[in-house]
Amino acid sequence: LDLLQQWQAADRLSHSRLVLVTTGAVAAHDTETVRDLAAGAAWGLVRSAQSENPDRFVLLDLDGADAADTLRSLLPDLPGLLGGGDAQFAVREGTALVGRLERLTTAPGLLAPAGTPWRLDTTGKGSLDNLILA
């Protein structure tokens, strides 16, 4: 936190972005797990700083498959990535990924019946997919 605050306060860096490069800090696919919890916590800290200081911090997570070579190969493309307005990237197998929200469609079975008493129940613990109307 102190390092981020010092960087933010430095006048000579006022028009620069700080890029935090991590490996295994985020899960970019539902089949992945976070491999470095400390790096994941650093992502959380910098995400908070991003909300207070837009356009000053960038998060870049590499997949760990020869991270140094991945970073070197990505450097020529970095200005284009940063120019797109995104500030959080995960690079997997040489491809830069960004998070996007997608509209969720409701399954017809979860619509509450009109005029009939109902309650929300579950068929099992651990997932919202297990919710049912009973």
Instruction: Tell me what pLDDT residue 27 has.
Output: 94
DSSP state of 109: G
Contact 71, 30 (CB under 8 A): no
Instruction: Tell me what pLDDT residue 116 has.
Output: 86
Determine the Cα–Cα distance for residues 84 and 79; give it in Å rounded to an integer: 9
Instruction: Tell me what pLDDT residue 20 has.
Output: 93
Instruction: Tell me what pLDDT residue 118 has.
Output: 87
Q: Work out the pLDDT band at 106, boundaries 50, 70, 90.
A: low
Contacts 24+ apart (CB under 8 A), 23-28: 23/61, 23/62, 23/63, 23/64, 23/67, 24/61, 24/63, 24/64, 25/59, 25/61, 26/61, 26/90, 28/61, 28/63, 28/90, 28/92, 28/97
Burial of 49 (0-12, 13-18, 19+ CB in 10 A): buried
Mean pLDDT, residues 117-134 taken together: 88
Lowest mean pLDDT among 13-17, 42-46, 52-56, 130-134: 130-134
Determine the Cα–Cα distance for residues 59 and 98; give it in Å rounded to an integer: 10
Model pLDDT for residues 71-99, shown as the tens digit of each residue: 888 888 888 888 888 999 999 988 899 98
Q: Work out the pLDDT band at 134, boundaries 50, 70, 90.
A: confident
Instruction: Tell me what pLDDT residue 108 has.
Output: 62
Instruction: Tell me what pLDDT residue 133 has.
Output: 83
Q: What is the mean pLDDT of the chain?
A: 88
Mean pLDDT, residues 42-62 taken together: 93
Structural domains in the chain, CATH included, are 2-97 (3.40.50.11460)
Mean pLDDT, residues 20-32 taken together: 93
Mean pLDDT, residues 2-28 taken together: 92
Contacts of 82 (CB under 8 A, 6+ apart): 17, 58
